[in-house]
Structure 1
Amino acid sequence: MWIQPWSTTPLLLAWSLFLNRVNAADVLENNGFTTCLDNSNIKVEKVNLRFDRATSTFNFNVAGSSAKTQNVTAELVVDAYGQKITQEFNPCAEETRVDQLCPVPAGRFAAQGNQQIPSNFADKIPSIAFAIPDLQAQATMLLKSNDGDETLACISSTVGNGKSLEAPAVSYVAAGIAGAALALSGAAALAASGNPGAATSSPTFSEVFGWFQSMATNGMLSVNYPPVYRSFAKNFGFSTGLIPWKQMQLSIDDFRNKTGGNLTHNNFRFLQNATLIFDDGSGSSSTAKRSLNLLSSSANLAVREISTSINETSTGGGPEEENGVNHAVQGIQAYVEMLSVPESNTFMTVLLIFAIVVAAIAVGILLFKVILEIWAMFRSFPQKLTNFRKDYWGILARTITNLILVLYGIFTLYCVFQFTRGDSWAAKVLAGVTLAIFTGILGYFTFKIWRVARKYKQVEGSAAALYEDQETWRKYSLFYDNYRKGYWWIFVPTIVYMLVRGCIIAGGDGHGLVQTAGQLVVEAVMFILLLWSRPYEAKSGQWINISIQVVRVLSVVCILIFVQELGMSTTTQTVAGVILIAVQSALTGILAILIAVNALILLFKKNPHKARKRKDLETMDGDLDNLTPLDARNSLLEGPNALHRYPSTRTGSMGYFNRTSPYDPYLSSSTSEKSRHTPTESTDNLLSSNANNINYVNMRETNRTPSPERKRSSPMTEWTY
């Protein structure tokens, strides 16, 4: 049966506007729907629609139930970027007839079939409709009674072409960037070993990973995200510990079930069979109006002329549940469930991922230590690795502490979220214990560093020894190594910033305006602090971190446009989402380029720490070559550790220093405290003591007995060595 061209436009548009593309091919397909009318006489239970451009085939499969037999008229309302199109069609009309729906029978009904669409119609669909990712449109269909114009049913859905910025490749690239930053930070730390006060080149691993976390949490607020930005933000979920793992989720479900959890609509298997519908927070009778996949510019289809033939039509026995149920979500729940993590499983998932990472770190460090021990049994290894070999537990503790510092804001968010949305008492207890332990560890180190800095200030007048004392630097530098000496304390407001930010996002879940306004205040205060203090040691660190904070503030400003209460248009929100993606992507690309540049510098540029140290040693050795007891200059006032701070670069049988100078042996010998010069002694006594020491050292090294003349002139027997 052939149908007239223009009259079939509303029918095809009704189908095509519920379509969403799922693969790279030119296919449009819907992905779920939601009812927007309570207590309706006709209940739609299933809608599967698909248009394949390659084969010009349109497939449909609908099912539902009706309280009585009745004739209906369908009205379609399309809202695409602020433009609305309304069209009606009658399934009993000759040109648009659908036998299974004319009339709609009492009880259950189902209709499925396919239509061959002429190529001349498919060619008229703009190619851009199949190319642009995450296009946004909303379609609502009303079924009205032919008797009295009463609305009998209402369904709503979003449709699109399936092109999306959500792609596993993006996550892999981002993870690769973070891994490169981690490797580069480790290599730079190894190159700077033994040099207290050496700052790590930016961007560091913590800076890059923190930036990825910011992009992920920007997608967790309870606002009306444009689908294009929602898909983009999903790519960085790995940085918050959300890594889908089926067996882990099933184990967590079992754990929750045994500890008071409610798994009715909150478990992994339910989530696998559910279609996520993103709630707009309007509070209307429509429970949700957004789904994960979106529509291409289907509004153009309203004016297309087509001709088609019905090839096959059949009636099924009842509604099927192939696509499961529709599941309305928003805020943090929407973000985590996009990643196949049930809402109440979130904290346990992140905790288990953290435990796995800690175990991997411990095994890796232990394996490296075993390799060093085996290496030491057969041959000597670089001096830089000595500390690692001797301080295994210390390095492990500092590495885990550093990991806690990087993830503290995320754990705060998930722990608070577990308190408010979790259902298992055991998971809540674990969340409380975890947050207390992490906060306690960071608080302990904060107190220790403050106390050490206070002691240094009392003794020396400044806290510069935090950077100069090697033992202090080794213990605590992970908190302040990139800051200037006068701003070592900046790590404290940074920790507070992470804590407050996580509490605002998790505590305000469901209230987008509160979340966004609170986060804007926190980000602005942090930006002002960085701009005022400029605490970073390296200029690159200054500009990179300030730039990251600027983009964070701008990101929250853009997200403010998505807040439902402000009533911004869909077009404005979409434009803001695209701008936000462009800015965040640009910053991510710049960070990746800087990491590559730093890697090249590390590979090909001479180590500045070694060069500076060698230059200092050569200068000192040159000065020592022309010293005499009568012209010792300031070398006699060197502290007892001067030799250890400046080991000689010379080699051979001459020892640490050139023995041709009569004064040099004193510097390489061990003397008692009685021979040390104090500020209260006279210069004569100093020179006399030094001369006696020279005689004794020369005697000991040459194994010759001093002459009687030298014995009489030397009171060596009065000293103890």
Structure 2
Amino acid sequence: MRLPLMLFAVVSTLLSSATGERLLMSSSLNACQQDSSFKASLFNVVYTPSNNTANVQMVATSSIEGKVVFDLAISAYGYQFLRQTLNPCEMNLPGLCPMVAGKIPFGFTLNVGEEASRQIPGIAYNIPDLDAKVKVFVNLTSTGESVACVEADISNGKTVDLFGVKWATAIIAGLALISSAVVNGLGNPNAAAHVAANSLALFGYFQAQAILGLTGVSLPPIVQAWAMDFQWSMGIIRVEFMQTLFTWYQRATGGTPAAIFDSLTTVSVQVAKRALKRAAPVTESGMNLFTRSLAMMPASIIQPAGKLFKRGNITTGSGSFLVYGIQRVAFRSKIETTNLFMTGLAFFYFFVLFTVLVVIILKTVFDLCAKKGWIGPEKFLEFRNGWLTVLKGILFRIVLIGFPQICILCFWEFTQADSPAEIVLAAVFSAGMIATLTWGACKVIRIARRSIAMHRNPAYILFSDPQTLNKWGFLYIQFRASAYYFIAPVLCYTVIKAMLVSFGQNNGTAQAIGFVLVEAAALIAASFGAPLIVVGTVGVVLFVLNAAFSLILLLMVIISTTVTFFRKNPDARYQIMADDRASFMKSQTQLNTTTELDALAATARGDKTGYKHPLDLDEDNHSSAPGKPVSGGVTQAQDSAVSSIA
């Protein structure tokens, strides 16, 4: 990549500002004090500095009667740069001089003075995902009493949430995963292991960024947008016909789909960036959102509620709706909140089916090419001979990659109860994946213990048997051989983190504390930490640091993959691991030759039982003549002891 993907996103937004019209806008108005006498369910304001006008469209409910003045304050990243008092009577604002009680829909164009316009810093029009807000106190002219307080977040229409970045990161991660499989099929397991480790690290980093955006913790606007660039790694991808299908499925299975995008012109939606301590659950099928609303909702004005939130968005006293955490991601992805679970689940399922079809097609094509003489007989020989084992290993890898996604979405579905059928799907998929990976981790530990008992080295069987390596290698190849068991704490870490994200949506403080503890434990155990959950101006720092780190990972994957394909001997590029795994890695053809020689030797010795491969690890018991050593010098008694240990 010539430029960092995310820095390129910033540059593109800065360049677009030179040609596009500069503007500031807001799309929801929130009350900022208890018992506010002025509330708005719809609020749209667009300010254009080219003509110094602000177009206002609002539907407000007011209990204020009489003349008032507006005390206005505008701030960005915590810095207040404009404070002004406005008199609606002097400005001839219709419906506001004097104010009357009732529901008042009105729209008008407000002329902004040159002096006020000059106080707006030019950088406010260029920084993507601007973190700025305007707060207005409504004071009675007669007494000076503050009878209402409203505030709105301001956006300049620029964002780092770009489709180009999503496609680029997805394509690079996908090609890296595919290249590791191709290199392994060409007979270079050491190089394939390194490429796979790099690509999985990149994919895991993308998922960590996506999970950050799914939390209910306070996030600055630029961090929310940054996390949206990686939600594809969690299967959160909007496809129009799939949304229609999921809505039908939910309705057919006893659920009530939300219709949250039907009335965008009548009700605003506030995308919360502040942590919520209390909120009221509302179950409505007619919830409505307004795109690009980035308003915050202080916890003090949200109606108190109970425990875990049932399906539905949170309503405020003004009639607007509030989304945060997982629902915030669904809203920004233009996916109905009741369709989010099925969207992520369906993409995982389709990816599994697609992978199976690709492997079957490749097996057929390679066999045909070898039969016709179009490729050498040794090309992709290991894949052609053991394609079923390879397929099982690939499926296990997919399960491991999709494990965070499925855990979070399934656990969250338990709190939403979109329909009985979806709850069953969540239970089946979550339990199935946890059981599968737990069984795989136990299998690896048993194999390693057997290898230690037989050869005093866990790496011997783990890396010398191609069936074990192809089927279970994804669980341990990224660790040193002596840390073969580390997949178990990794799985526990993933489950705990998923539970924090899914069940802690309504308590950002507890969720943040839980994340700190979990990540601290992971850092101590593996010298690895996840991105910090921060607010304020630190959000810009987080964005820049993560953009740089993404660039490093992307370049590592691209360079290592490219060099691997163009080197004559890719395995020679990588240093031999200190755990001697490379000395145990052999090709399938070498193992077949050794097996034939061992069988011939057994016949010459007159063994009636013949030769049996000692690494048939799908069976717990191996047999040979009493007291006779099998290959590798291990007696039957020793093998029985190993079986009992395993």
TM-score bin (small chain): 0.7 to 0.9
Report the Cα offset of residue 676 of structure 1. Answer: 7.5
For 1:527, the equivalent position in structure 2 comes to: 523
Deviations 1:266-288 (A, max 9, x none): 6554689753431624658999x
User: Is the 1:188–1:200 contact (alpha carbons within 8 Å) kept by the matching residues of 2?
Assistant: no
Q: Answer yes or no: is 1:386 the counterpart of 2:385.
A: no
For 2:478, the equivalent position in structure 1 comes to: 482
- Partner of 1:51: helix, strand, or coil? strand
Q: Answer yes or no: is 1:585 the counterpart of 2:580.
A: no
Report the Cα offset of residue 585 of structure 1. Answer: 1.5
More off after superposition, 164-173 vs 77-86? 77-86
- Partner of 2:214: helix, strand, or coil? coil
Q: Answer yes or no: is 1:227 the counterpart of 2:176.
A: no
What is the count of residue pairs matched by the alignment?
Answer: 541
Q: Answer yes or no: is 1:603 the counterpart of 2:542.
A: no
- Partner of 2:207: helix, strand, or coil? helix
- Partner of 1:586: helix, strand, or coil? helix
**Distance in structure 2 (CA, Å) of the matches to 1:269 and 1:391:** 53
Q: 1:136 aligns with which of 131, 134, 140?
A: 131
Please tell me the residue identity of whatever aligns with 1:588. Answer: S
Q: Unaligned stretches of 5+ in structure 1?
A: 1-20, 296-323, 532-548, 563-572, 613-640, 648-666, 678-721
Q: Answer yes or no: is 1:169 the counterpart of 2:157.
A: no
Q: Answer yes or no: is 1:470 the counterpart of 2:466.
A: yes
Q: Answer yes or no: is 1:363 the counterpart of 2:344.
A: no
Identity %: 24
Residue 427 and residue 586 in structure 1: after superposition, are their counterparts in 2 closer, same or farther (change >3 A)? Answer: same
For 1:673, the equivalent position in structure 2 comes to: 603
User: Is the 1:276–1:292 contact (alpha carbons within 8 Å) kept by the matching residues of 2?
Assistant: no
**Distance in structure 1 (CA, Å) of the matches to 2:383 and 2:455:** 31
Q: How does 1:297-696 map to 2 (within 5 A)?
A: 326-379=320-373, 381-382=375-376, 383-463=378-458, 464-531=460-527, 549-550=528-529, 552=530, 555-556=531-532, 559=533, 562=534, 573-609=535-571, 644-645=593-594, 673-674=603-604
Residue 260 and residue 267 in structure 1: after superposition, are their counterparts in 2 closer, same or farther (change >3 A)? Answer: farther
Residue 187 and residue 170 in structure 1: after superposition, are their counterparts in 2 closer, same or farther (change >3 A)? Answer: same
User: Is the 1:197–1:481 contact (alpha carbons within 8 Å) kept by the matching residues of 2?
Assistant: no
**Distance in structure 2 (CA, Å) of the matches to 1:111 and 1:271:** 17
More off after superposition, 421-430 vs 273-282? 273-282
**Distance in structure 2 (CA, Å) of the matches to 1:479 and 1:64:** 58
More off after superposition, 479-488 vs 265-274? 265-274
RMSD after superposition: 3.7
Q: Answer yes or no: is 1:103 the counterpart of 2:33.
A: no
**Distance in structure 1 (CA, Å) of the matches to 2:70 and 2:481:** 72
- Partner of 1:445: helix, strand, or coil? helix
Q: Answer yes or no: is 1:90 the counterpart of 2:87.
A: yes
Report the Cα offset of residue 402 of structure 1. Answer: 0.7
Please tell me the residue identity of whatever aligns with 1:358. Answer: V
Deviations 1:662-681 (A, max 9, x none): xxxxx89957723589xxxx
Please tell me the residue identity of whatever aligns with 1:88. Answer: T
- Look at both structures and tell me which one has the larger radius of gyration over its CA atoms: 1
More off after superposition, 508-517 vs 436-445? 508-517
For 2:48, the equivalent position in structure 1 comes to: 52
Deviations 1:622-681 (A, max 9, x none): xxxxxxxxxxxxxxxxxxx8992499xxxxxxxxxxxxxxxxxxx89957723589xxxx
Deviations 1:74-110 (A, max 9, x none): 23233443345543322223xx222443333565544
**Distance in structure 1 (CA, Å) of the matches to 2:545 and 2:156:** 25
- Partner of 1:138: helix, strand, or coil? strand
More off after superposition, 578-587 vs 250-259? 250-259
Report the Cα offset of residue 405 of structure 1. Answer: 0.7
Please tell me the residue identity of whatever aligns with 2:213. Answer: G
Please tell me the residue identity of whatever aligns with 1:91. Answer: P
**Distance in structure 2 (CA, Å) of the matches to 1:165 and 1:196:** 38
Report the Cα offset of residue 430 of structure 1. Answer: 0.9
Q: 1:35 aligns with which of 31, 35, 38?
A: 31
**Distance in structure 1 (CA, Å) of the matches to 2:418 and 2:325:** 18
Report the Cα offset of residue 346 of structure 1. Answer: 2.5
Deviations 1:529-551 (A, max 9, x none): 225xxxxxxxxxxxxxxxxx24x
For 1:188, the equivalent position in structure 2 comes to: 183
**Distance in structure 2 (CA, Å) of the matches to 1:87 and 1:492:** 60
More off after superposition, 207-216 vs 389-398? 389-398
**Distance in structure 2 (CA, Å) of the matches to 1:242 and 1:115:** 40
**Distance in structure 2 (CA, Å) of the matches to 1:610 and 1:226:** 46
Residue 159 and residue 671 in structure 1: after superposition, are their counterparts in 2 closer, same or farther (change >3 A)? Answer: closer
Q: TM-score if structure 2 supplies the norm length?
A: 0.74
**Distance in structure 2 (CA, Å) of the matches to 1:388 and 1:489:** 27
More off after superposition, 40-49 vs 151-160? 40-49
User: Is the 2:412–2:503 contact (alpha carbons within 8 Å) kept by the matching residues of 1?
Assistant: yes
**Distance in structure 1 (CA, Å) of the matches to 2:108 and 2:85:** 21
Give the 4+ runs in structure 1 shifted more than 6 A. 116-121, 270-273, 284-287
Report the Cα offset of residue 123 of structure 1. Answer: 6.6
- Partner of 1:200: helix, strand, or coil? helix
Residue 674 and residue 101 in structure 1: after superposition, are their counterparts in 2 closer, same or farther (change >3 A)? Answer: closer
Please tell me the residue identity of whatever aligns with 1:594. Answer: M
User: Is the 2:438–2:488 contact (alpha carbons within 8 Å) kept by the matching residues of 1?
Assistant: no
Report the Cα offset of residue 227 of structure 1. Answer: 1.4
User: Is the 2:25–2:155 contact (alpha carbons within 8 Å) kept by the matching residues of 1?
Assistant: yes
- Partner of 2:218: helix, strand, or coil? coil
More off after superposition, 164-173 vs 584-593? 164-173
**Distance in structure 2 (CA, Å) of the matches to 1:203 and 1:448:** 21
**Distance in structure 2 (CA, Å) of the matches to 1:157 and 1:286:** 21
